[in-house]
Amino acid sequence: MPELELMIMIALMVAILVPTAAMLVWFERRLLGFFQQRYGPNRVGYFGILQSLADLIKILFKHDWIPPFADRPVFVLAPLIGAMAILMSFAVVPMAPRLVVSDSNIGLLFFLAMTSMAVYSVVLAGWASNNKYAVLGGMRAAAQTISYEVFMGVSLLGVVILSGSFRLSDIVLAQQDMWFVFPQFIGFVVFMIAGVAESHRLPFDLPEAETELTAGFHTEYSGIKFALFFLGEYLGMMLISMMITTLFLGGWMGPWLPPFVWFVLKTMSLICFFILLRAALPRPRFDQLLEFGWKWMLPLALLNLVGTAVVKLWGDF
């Protein structure tokens, strides 16, 4: 019964991903604490490991409040869209041979489509909140995502050319001789930057820039709806790390250890790197961010695409 198997697989994924994202919150806070010469949450359970659980309990018991001036249905829907879109993307990520919900032949396109969906969450939340800070945050998110999406897609085409497939497991297998991070280094860097921007993390956290827009698009959100945004952000960070692993770092492949362990190790190192980025970098201004995207990243990605295509054609002759 393939349907049942699929259902179990999906349930398993959700059951693993959501708590992992919650644990990631704790992990990030501890790691930031380590980077910043302080402790971070260390009181609930060993090393504060139950902090996320405590936070979750608190958040569940919070008054589920919708501001009277908000656009109710959209206000409720917005955080759901975000978390759902990101969760859906995980369906195409192969974590080990055959450990994937749907090894679709358009996996990469599906991932790009879903991350584009996620921006609706932010824009709608900003709009439905009927709050000026939220609107500014939503506007920033829209502009940022539109600009960064363009070269995010372009940066991946080099990988597609080299592997000749949109299927993620094919892409992993194509890296048997060499990880794509070497021939596609520019693509790797550009995609990584775009990935951080997509998940709205420092230095690209402009839609929620705390010091400027209080909390940006989620200013009016509290309780479980706020938690969904948070979940979405951390799932997004996981997703981007997994995608980089899959596309550029040889996915599950590696000697001695089982494939899944390799996959987790690579993903975790990337997550640590993202957290380090947050601890290390300040935030550029909005126009500087867009300028950087259009004037540097996009030409770089295009150049990479053309270069890869030329090399590939040359080799085929």
Q: Which chain residues interact with other proteins by CB under 8 A?
A: 32, 35-38, 132-133, 136, 202-203, 205, 209-214, 278-288
Nearer to other proteins, 45 or 203 (CB): 203
**Minimum distance from residue 211 beta carbon to other proteins (Å):** 4
Cα gap 90→231, rounded to integer Å: 14
What distances in angstroms separate CA 177 from CA 111, 137, 252, 265, 267, one per listed residue? 25, 44, 14, 20, 20
**Minimum distance from residue 139 beta carbon to other proteins (Å):** 8
Closest to 233 measured CA to CA, from 76, 24, 37: 24
Cα gap 98→317, rounded to integer Å: 35
Nearer to other proteins, 279 or 302 (CB): 279
**Minimum distance from residue 149 beta carbon to other proteins (Å):** 21
Q: CB neighbours of 262 closer than 8 A, spacing ≥ 6?
A: 252, 253, 254
Tokens representing 278?
């947050």
At residue 94, the 3 state secondary structure works out as coil
DSSP structure string for 1-24: -HHHHHHHHHHHHHHHHHHHHHHH
**Minimum distance from residue 136 beta carbon to other proteins (Å):** 7
Nearest 5°: phi and psi at 253? -75, 140
**Minimum distance from residue 12 beta carbon to other proteins (Å):** 35
Nearer to other proteins, 90 or 127 (CB): 127
Nearer to other proteins, 37 or 176 (CB): 37
Burial 96-122 (b: 16+ CB within 10 A, else e): beebbbbbbeebbebbbebbbbbbbbb
Nearer to other proteins, 83 or 275 (CB): 275
Nearer to other proteins, 120 or 286 (CB): 286
**Minimum distance from residue 297 beta carbon to other proteins (Å):** 16
**Minimum distance from residue 221 beta carbon to other proteins (Å):** 16
Nearer to other proteins, 103 or 212 (CB): 212
Cα gap 121→161, rounded to integer Å: 32
